[in-house]
Chains A and B, each alone.
Chain A
Amino acid sequence: MNNKHKQLLHPLPQKEVFRRLLVYTGKEKKLIIAAMILLIGGTAADLAGPLIIQTFIDDYLAPRNFVQDALITLGVVYLLLYAGSAVMNYIQGYLFQKVALSIIQDIRVDIFAKVESLGLSFFDQFPTGGLISRITNDTEQVKELYITVLANFLQNIIFLIGIFAAMFYLNAALAAFALLILPLLLIVIYFYRKYSSIFYADMSEKLSQLNARLNESIQGMSVIQMFRQERRMSREFAVINQQHQDSWMKSMKLDGLLLRPAIDLISILALMLVLTYFGAASFTGPVEIGVVYAFVNYLDRFFEPVNQIMQRLSMFQQAMISAGRVFRLMDHNEPPPKQQPNAGYQIEKGNVEFKKVHFSYFENEMVLSDISFRIDKGEMLAIVGQTGSGKSSLINALMRFYPIREGNILIDGKEIQTIPFQEIRKNIGLVQQDAFLYAASIKDNIRLYNKNITEAEIFTAAKTVGADAFIQELDNGYDHVIGERGTTLSTGERQLLSFARTIAHNPKILILDEATASIDTETEAEIQDALKNARAGRTTIAIAHRLSTIKEADHIIVLEQGRIAEQGSHQQLISKKGIYEKMYHLQQGMNYIQK
């Protein structure tokens, strides 16, 4: 991980996170406005109910003034208001969730697209585990954030404002008086927010430790058992488990002290305030009972939204941190190498030439120095060298995964920078050493996203590389769905499949990174045949581990510490009596192995 990557681990300031979150709501402006209107309408209708009952009590019931028409109107209006508020509240609740979900969809696609657009250098250095969790878990947290803020905070705040408005309408003096409970609430909220964020963070840290330990133990259970450490591990687990329980208890106690029970206490205080006010007023003159009724009723409903907001505060804080992580990654800039702006050359033949190529991942550590060779259509180049000699780097340069430092890479005599990326990808086929297979059917693994590859072409490609036989033996043949990471297939079979995939895409230049892992002799022979068939009419570059492959090559390069130690045809190298000759000498008398 370099400094640029470390930047990704720094938290983003809350203000900036908030601004970015707000920007995303812009696209959903219309829906948000519609939902807001419904929310205000629904809340107003909801809060009008007690007012109607108040009118009924004060104007009709208390003075025993029963006008049938007026009463029926009042009843109908009351029921309509409730029905209306139910419908409006349902729609707004749904709309806010919809807004939150579409925003999160945008964020997810944005961040995924961003990650896909990064250069391979990023993936070679940044741990994948962290990436995956940013794309899925962190965005999931952000989703909760939007839902909480939009669907919960907003609704509850509007509701609270509505209640205050109604109270002011009923009795401004008392309403102003009732505002006195606000500071009390704010104090409770302040302390709850302060401590819950600490406790909550501690608890989630303990939980993740617990889960990590559990997960690790399940995966390493055979080791634990082999070394008879079951009791110790159980003991250690019990300790973490106990710690988790303790911090859970702490959170629970905090909730008990400052959440519902505290709010309930405040609501009793508020009730006392209202009753005292009206009681005192009654000493001096008559009081409208309906107003008392409405006040009591409003107070009753005032505190539930407060409870709901408080319960989500701690989650809110965690989610802001997640959002920060997501935006950091979205801001990360590490593009693949740049092509020239007017790059437009179409690869015709696929002749490859390296001219004094120097290559390095970091400034001062040259990995390839002064590499020059030329290989034309129909020929095969074998690259030989020990681990760390620069073989994979050579591929990284030719695939243009990384830029080179000095020199030129030419395809058909044109500089690689002048060829569009898609053209390079289409015409250079790479058979990876550790074949990656998708959890999909064999067919889809060969075809990938290219819909133009017909079934017939898939079969031909598989036959060309000799994968047809083992595919036929699988359940459902070409429709067989490969299990997680292709574990049901052997290394050799996987490489054959990866080979078939490359051939089906019909590249002009074929790069084979031969598997070093132990492969059965039979499979090895199959891969040899595959290579022979696949090479025809193509430029082939093979990172070779097997003598049989090397012998087939028209041209051989021996790499040593990033430099070409020897190169030439088999015959030339033999007559040179250098490293290659020594190597070859060893196989004398063993030719029968190849037969």
Chain B
Amino acid sequence: MKVFVDLGWYFKQEKWRYLTGIFILILVSALTLIPPYIIGVVVDGISAQALTQQQLLIWMTVLLAIGVLSYLLRYVWRILIFGASIKLARILRDKLYEHFTLMSGKFYQKKRTGDLMAHATNDIRAIEQTAGAGVLTLVDSLTMGSFVIITMALTISWELTLIALIPMPFMALMTSIYGSMLHKRFSRAQQAFSSLNDKVQESMSGIKVTKAHGYENEEVSSFKSQSNNVVRKNMAVAKVDALFDPTISLVVGMSFFLSIAFGAVYVVNEAITIGQLTSFTVYLGLLIWPMLAFGWFFNIVERGRASNDRVNNILKVPMDVKDSAQAASTVPQGNISFQIDRFSYDETEENLKDIHIELQEGNTLGVAGRTGSGKTTLVKALLRDFDIKDGDIYIGGKSIRSFEKNALLNAVAFVPQDHFLFSATIADNIAFGKPDASYKEIIEAARHAGIHADISRFTEGYETMVGERGVTLSGGQKQRISIARALLLNPQILILDDSLSAVDARTEEFILRNLKKIRQNKTTIITAHRLSAIMHADEIAVLDQGELTEKGTHNDLMHFESWYKTMYEAQQVEMKIEEGHGDE
């Protein structure tokens, strides 16, 4: 029931829809009571052979009118109540989406995509059910149930009603118990299915390993046993699922038996007529639904509450990085100064330590270091993906925290390591940060990123779709498109986070040359594992385990036995081998 309180805001917002809907539901329930009454009257008339043609005609007309009216009303309440619940689903999904856009990298590291998706699909579905079917089952079971019982008691016999009702609560109870058993077993079956899914995923991705070792048969039998597990879990579901119908029919049969057996006594005693007994059994039939609904109601609400709590917990997660009240909305500009004493993501290890770098406006900073040395963390700190507590970063002498995050990001364009493209056209992807960009701008950015020629080769050119339903791009092509995406913004500060790793040496050189040309007087930060990408930088910083170990220009660093020098020379040789011929 708590979930109805939690969803109170929505019921209030849509109170007219709900009130009208509920009113109609009650009206329909009341209408449903009339046909059995008519049956009773007509049966008695037939029984006594006292029925006249006119009477029959009137009763049939009433029946038809009730039928048509109920049809219309049933249609209307569905639109009102189900319509409202469907709308709630949309509102919640929008809310959740907007909330997702506010969450930082930390949030996405902790939550798995699959779980977040489940909140937006399954959980919202369960809440929608609560606001739709939940309301319906509650209203129907209460009104219809009480109407039918009252009618039976008042118009026929309250004693017989009590007797006939004895088995009914059993039905509500059992179906509710089955419902929650079913739910648990069903989740287990779902889990088994999702691990089967993982298994298939793994098998397909690792097909070469399987083939190389000739383990196809073993793989099939391993799949078989997993799939068997899915069958077993589903059988457990089936065991409960198959209980519903027989239980209902058994309980209803008992009720019928009791009412006929005892009803016969009343008929003999002339307390009721045979016609009334017939109506009575039809009323009993009408009670099946409210009883079932009552059982369902508890299951729906139980699931709805759990889902609503889960969704609310997500919505309650606060933003990691908030703008302070005095934050300026001006776009930062000027020299960048890293003054980081210490930073740690989770307090177990230091991810950045004692990093002090000055970067003149318009210069290029290269950051080198092995995987995990803190290169990405450093640039993410500049982007305020998280806040540094010990130390700060300054742009134009002002702390980056003194700007609105939006303003800060306005100054920056970032090319991430894991080149992510959206399922849209190439043009849309390049213009992602500036959707109203002209084709000319898009093509220019693509040219500078060295991807124009590749794009032109596709039959649909810039209108080629990317992603599952479109063309498959190589890692290098994706990287260059994401570089073009950043270049299009022509930002004050451009950050390339190891984003030249998948392009060949010649293309890398081409892109770097373009950068130099188009980014005069603008600041660029490049992190790279391949040092050729940063050797021309005005300043090179080498990180190791989050610490700044070497700093200087290429020439400075080549002057002594630095890590930089060792790596640089080794990579030079390998590049030549890679090219297969040492032509200079």
Question: CA A490 – CA B253 in complex, angstroms?
Answer: 67
Report B413-445 CB contacts with A as 1/0, cut-off 8 Å: 110100010110000000011010000000000
Tell whether, in the assembled complex, residue A279 and residue B56 are in contact, meaning their CB atoms are under 8 Å apart: yes
Among A83, A228, A248, the residue within 8 A (CB) of B406 is: A228
Interface of chain A residues 419 through 435 with chain B (CB within 8 A): 421-422, 424-426, 428-430, 432
- Whether a CB of chain B sits under 8 angstroms from the CB of A265 is yes
Tell whether, in the assembled complex, residue A265 and residue B71 are in contact, meaning their CB atoms are under 8 Å apart: yes
Tell whether, in the assembled complex, residue B566 and residue A269 are in contact, meaning their CB atoms are under 8 Å apart: no
B218: chain A residues within 8 A (beta carbon): 448-449
Tell whether, in the assembled complex, residue B371 and residue A520 are in contact, meaning their CB atoms are under 8 Å apart: yes
- Whether a CB of chain A sits under 8 angstroms from the CB of B4 is no
Tell whether, in the assembled complex, residue A257 and residue B200 are in contact, meaning their CB atoms are under 8 Å apart: no
A327 CB → nearest B CB, Å: 18
- Whether a CB of chain A sits under 8 angstroms from the CB of B264 is yes
B548: chain A residues within 8 A (beta carbon): none
Among B46, B193, B210, B383, the residue within 8 A (CB) of A278 is: B46
- Whether a CB of chain B sits under 8 angstroms from the CB of A78 is yes
Question: CA A568 – CA B414 in complex, angstroms?
Answer: 48
Among B53, B203, B572, B580, the residue within 8 A (CB) of A385 is: B580
- Whether a CB of chain A sits under 8 angstroms from the CB of B324 is no
B472: chain A residues within 8 A (beta carbon): 127
Question: CA A255 – CA B503 in complex, angstroms?
Answer: 55
Tell whether, in the assembled complex, residue B86 and residue A101 are in contact, meaning their CB atoms are under 8 Å apart: no
Tell whether, in the assembled complex, residue B67 and residue A268 are in contact, meaning their CB atoms are under 8 Å apart: yes
Q: Which among A3-11, A89-97, A176-184, A354-362 touches the partner chain?
A: A89-97
- Whether a CB of chain A sits under 8 angstroms from the CB of B45 is yes
Report B258-287 CB contacts with A as 1/0, cut-off 8 Å: 001100100110000011001001100100
- Whether a CB of chain A sits under 8 angstroms from the CB of B557 is no
Tell whether, in the assembled complex, residue A220 and residue B90 are in contact, meaning their CB atoms are under 8 Å apart: no
- Whether a CB of chain B sits under 8 angstroms from the CB of A297 is yes
Interface of chain A residues 53 through 86 with chain B (CB within 8 A): 53, 56-57, 60-62, 64, 66, 75, 78-79, 82-83, 85-86
A428: chain B residues within 8 A (beta carbon): 212
Question: CA A428 – CA B196 in complex, angstroms?
Answer: 30
Residue of A nearest to B53 (CB): A283
Among B49, B278, B468, B581, the residue within 8 A (CB) of A560 is: B581
Report B227-259 CB contacts with A as 1/0, cut-off 8 Å: 110110011001101110111011001101100
Residue of A nearest to B206 (CB): A436
Question: CA A59 – CA B302 in complex, angstroms?
Answer: 50
Q: A61-B274, A271-B63, A439-B198 are in contact. Are A485 and B205 (CB under 8 A)?
A: yes
Tell whether, in the assembled complex, residue A85 and residue B74 are in contact, meaning their CB atoms are under 8 Å apart: no
Interface of chain B residues 111 through 162 with chain A (CB within 8 A): 113, 116-117, 120-121
Question: CA A212 – CA B467 in complex, angstroms?
Answer: 11
Q: Looking at chain B's contact residues, is the secondary structure mostly helix, strand, loop, or mixed?
A: helix
Tell whether, in the assembled complex, residue B371 and residue A547 are in contact, meaning their CB atoms are under 8 Å apart: no
Tell whether, in the assembled complex, residue B193 and residue A296 are in contact, meaning their CB atoms are under 8 Å apart: no
Question: CA A399 – CA B212 in complex, angstroms?
Answer: 7
A136, A252, A520, most chain B CB atoms within 10 A: A136
- Whether a CB of chain A sits under 8 angstroms from the CB of B220 is yes
- Whether a CB of chain B sits under 8 angstroms from the CB of A572 is no
Interface of chain B residues 58 through 85 with chain A (CB within 8 A): 59-60, 63-64, 66-68, 70-71, 74-75, 78-79, 82-83
Tell whether, in the assembled complex, residue A215 and residue B578 are in contact, meaning their CB atoms are under 8 Å apart: no
A157: chain B residues within 8 A (beta carbon): none
Among A229, A289, A401, A583, the residue within 8 A (CB) of B274 is: A289
Q: A120-B211, A448-B213 are in contact. Are A586 and B573 (CB under 8 A)?
A: yes
B205: chain A residues within 8 A (beta carbon): 128, 436, 485
A289: chain B residues within 8 A (beta carbon): 43, 46-47, 274-275, 278
B268 CB → nearest A CB, Å: 7
B242: chain A residues within 8 A (beta carbon): 89-90, 93-94, 97
- Whether a CB of chain B sits under 8 angstroms from the CB of A536 is no
Residue of A nearest to B49 (CB): A282
Among B235, B268, B433, the residue within 8 A (CB) of A98 is: B235
Tell whether, in the assembled complex, residue B580 and residue A297 are in contact, meaning their CB atoms are under 8 Å apart: no
- Whether a CB of chain B sits under 8 angstroms from the CB of A472 is no
- Whether a CB of chain A sits under 8 angstroms from the CB of B349 is no
B412: chain A residues within 8 A (beta carbon): 226
Tell whether, in the assembled complex, residue A521 and residue B113 are in contact, meaning their CB atoms are under 8 Å apart: no
B271 CB → nearest A CB, Å: 14
Among A98, A215, A241, A518, the residue within 8 A (CB) of B238 is: A98
Interface of chain A residues 543 through 565 with chain B (CB within 8 A): 544-547, 550, 558-560, 565
Tell whether, in the assembled complex, residue B200 and residue A49 are in contact, meaning their CB atoms are under 8 Å apart: no
- Whether a CB of chain A sits under 8 angstroms from the CB of B51 is yes
Tell whether, in the assembled complex, residue B249 and residue A89 are in contact, meaning their CB atoms are under 8 Å apart: yes
Q: Which among A102-110, A165-173, A526-534 touches the partner chain?
A: A102-110
Q: Which among B14-22, B93-101, B180-188, B454-462 touches the partner chain?
A: B93-101
Question: CA A579 – CA B93 in complex, angstroms?
Answer: 62
Residue of A nearest to B410 (CB): A228
- Whether a CB of chain B sits under 8 angstroms from the CB of A366 is no
Tell whether, in the assembled complex, residue A75 and residue B261 are in contact, meaning their CB atoms are under 8 Å apart: yes
Question: CA A490 – CA B105 in complex, angstroms?
Answer: 21
- Whether a CB of chain A sits under 8 angstroms from the CB of B513 is no
Tell whether, in the assembled complex, residue B208 and residue A582 are in contact, meaning their CB atoms are under 8 Å apart: no
B353: chain A residues within 8 A (beta carbon): none
Residue of B nearest to A485 (CB): B205
A430: chain B residues within 8 A (beta carbon): 208, 212
B339 CB → nearest A CB, Å: 23
Question: CA A116 – CA B222 in complex, angstroms?
Answer: 12
A61: chain B residues within 8 A (beta carbon): 264, 267-268, 274
Tell whether, in the assembled complex, residue A214 and residue B567 are in contact, meaning their CB atoms are under 8 Å apart: no
Tell whether, in the assembled complex, residue B285 and residue A300 are in contact, meaning their CB atoms are under 8 Å apart: yes
Tell whether, in the assembled complex, residue A116 and residue B220 are in contact, meaning their CB atoms are under 8 Å apart: yes
Q: Which among A22-30, A231-239, A338-346, A404-412 touches the partner chain?
A: A231-239
Tell whether, in the assembled complex, residue B227 and residue A108 are in contact, meaning their CB atoms are under 8 Å apart: yes
- Whether a CB of chain B sits under 8 angstroms from the CB of A245 is yes
Tell whether, in the assembled complex, residue B223 and residue A234 are in contact, meaning their CB atoms are under 8 Å apart: no
Q: A265-B70, A449-B218, A587-B573 are in contact. Are A275 and B42 (CB under 8 A)?
A: yes
- Whether a CB of chain A sits under 8 angstroms from the CB of B215 is yes
- Whether a CB of chain A sits under 8 angstroms from the CB of B346 is no
Tell whether, in the assembled complex, residue A593 and residue B570 are in contact, meaning their CB atoms are under 8 Å apart: yes
- Whether a CB of chain B sits under 8 angstroms from the CB of A34 is no
Tell whether, in the assembled complex, residue B246 and residue A257 are in contact, meaning their CB atoms are under 8 Å apart: no
Residue of B nearest to A511 (CB): B212
Q: A120-B207, A227-B433, A229-B433 are in contact. Are A217 and B97 (CB under 8 A)?
A: yes
B420: chain A residues within 8 A (beta carbon): 219-220, 222-223
Tell whether, in the assembled complex, residue B422 and residue A220 are in contact, meaning their CB atoms are under 8 Å apart: yes
Residue of B nearest to A107 (CB): B227
Question: CA A432 – CA B210 in complex, angstroms?
Answer: 12
- Whether a CB of chain B sits under 8 angstroms from the CB of A87 is yes
| 21 contacts across the A-B interface (CB closer than 8 A) | A90-B243, A97-B235, A113-B220, A210-B93, A214-B120, A218-B100, A229-B432, A241-B97, A245-B90, A249-B86, A253-B75, A256-B82, A265-B67, A272-B64, A283-B53, A289-B46, A297-B281, A389-B580, A448-B213, A547-B573, A590-B570
Known: A242-B90, A268-B63. 20 other contacts (CB 8 A): A85-B246, A86-B246, A90-B243, A105-B228, A105-B231, A112-B223, A113-B220, A116-B220, A136-B200, A214-B120, A241-B90, A245-B87, A261-B78, A271-B39, A275-B59, A282-B51, A336-B211, A389-B580, A521-B570, A547-B574
Residues of B at under 8 Å CB distance from A?
35, 38-39, 42-43, 45-47, 49, 51, 53, 56, 59-60, 63-64, 66-68, 70-71, 74-75, 78-79, 82-83, 86-87, 89-90, 93-94, 97-98, 100-105, 108, 113, 116-117, 120-121, 193, 196-198, 200-216, 218-220, 222-224, 227-228, 230-231, 234-235, 238-239, 241-243, 245-247, 249-250, 253-254, 256-257, 260-261, 264, 267-268, 274-275, 278, 281-282, 285, 370-372, 383, 385, 406, 409-410, 412-414, 416, 420, 422-423, 432-433, 435, 468, 472, 485, 489, 501, 504, 529-530, 566-567, 569-570, 572-574, 576-583
Top 4 A-B residue pairs of the complex, sorted by shortest distance between their CB atoms: A425-B214, A268-B67, A582-B582, A93-B242
